[in-house]
Each structure stands twice: as C-alpha cells, then as structure tokens.
Amino acid sequence: MTDRETTTRWAAWRRSRRLFATATGTLAAAMLAGAWPTWRWAGADGLAAMGSAGAAAMMATLIGSAAMLGGLCRPGAASALRRALMAPAVRLGAAAAMALPIGLLAAAGVPAVPMLLWFAIGYLVTLGAETALLARWAYGTP
C-alpha cells in the first residue's frame, strides 16, 4: 500500500466519522425537540415508537453512507463517482428493508402512526444533514 492510498483511506475515515456524527446529532436534536409533542400525542408508547423509528432511520443512513464512502477509499474518480451515484439507491433500499422490523414492532403493539411519522422525519433529517455536508465537501470546504 502506497503512502497516497494510506492518506486517502485515513481522510475517508475522518470524513465518515464526521458524516455519521453530523447525521446522528441532527437526528438526536430533532427527536429531542419532538419528544414532548410525541409524548403528549401518543404517551410512553409513542416515545418507544420514536426511538425505534430513529434507530431504523439511522441504520438506513449508515448503510447508504458506507456505500458512498467506500468509493473514497479507492483511487480514481470513476469509482468515487459510481459510489456517489449508487449511495442514494442503497440508502433507499436500506430504508425499505427497515419496513420489516417496523412492521414487526407495529404487530407487537408499538403504535404504528408515530413510528412511521418519526421514521419519515428521521430519514429526511439525516438525508438533509448528509446532503449539506457532502455539498460542502464537493466544493472543497472542510
């Protein structure tokens, strides 16, 4: 492994940590802001649904981001571009795959409406944070 490849891998690792921290922090802030309205609307079960949906949205974010950031570890613009274009599809597929655990939780008695609402909110919030950070990186801002 050359020094350039090692440097590229470390840079990708640092960026992935920042991306995951940004997405997690943004989702946590949204959930903190929505905890009281959710509790008033659906009670303690609504808070459990919010937590379950937040975890599912974060898993979709991690899977989609890992697909994209994997391209940063390989030299060559074609690989990075291919990964960046593939990441939204992988992220959407991961979100669709999270429908099974959400359905199982709903069948187990966790309220479905707050869970689906918070899954959508979590998905959109993490997608927005991820997109904003990636746009900054694309323009060369650290």
Report how far Cα 120 is from the mean position of its chain's Cα atoms: 12
> If you average pLDDT over residues 113-129, what whole number do you get?
89
In a domain, 142, yes or no: no
Q: What pLDDT score does 96 carry?
A: 83
> If you average pLDDT over residues 15-29, what whole number do you get?
84
Which range marks the domain in which residue 73 is found?
3-137
Query: pLDDT tens digits, residue range 83-105?
Result: 666 777 777 888 888 878 878 88
24 has a pLDDT exceeding 70:
yes
> Structural domain tally of the chain?
1
**Alpha carbon separation from 83 to 21, 37, 109 (Å, rounded):** 21, 38, 39
Helix ranges, the chain (H): 3-69, 77-97, 99-107, 112-138
Q: What pLDDT score does 41 carry?
A: 93
36 has a pLDDT exceeding 60:
yes
Give the span between the Cα atoms of 84 and 81, in whole angstroms: 5
Give the span between the Cα atoms of 142 and 139, in whole angstroms: 9
In a domain, 70, yes or no: yes
Q: What pLDDT score does 2 carry?
A: 58
Give the span between the Cα atoms of 76 and 81, in whole angstroms: 9
In a domain, 28, yes or no: yes
129 has a pLDDT exceeding 60:
yes
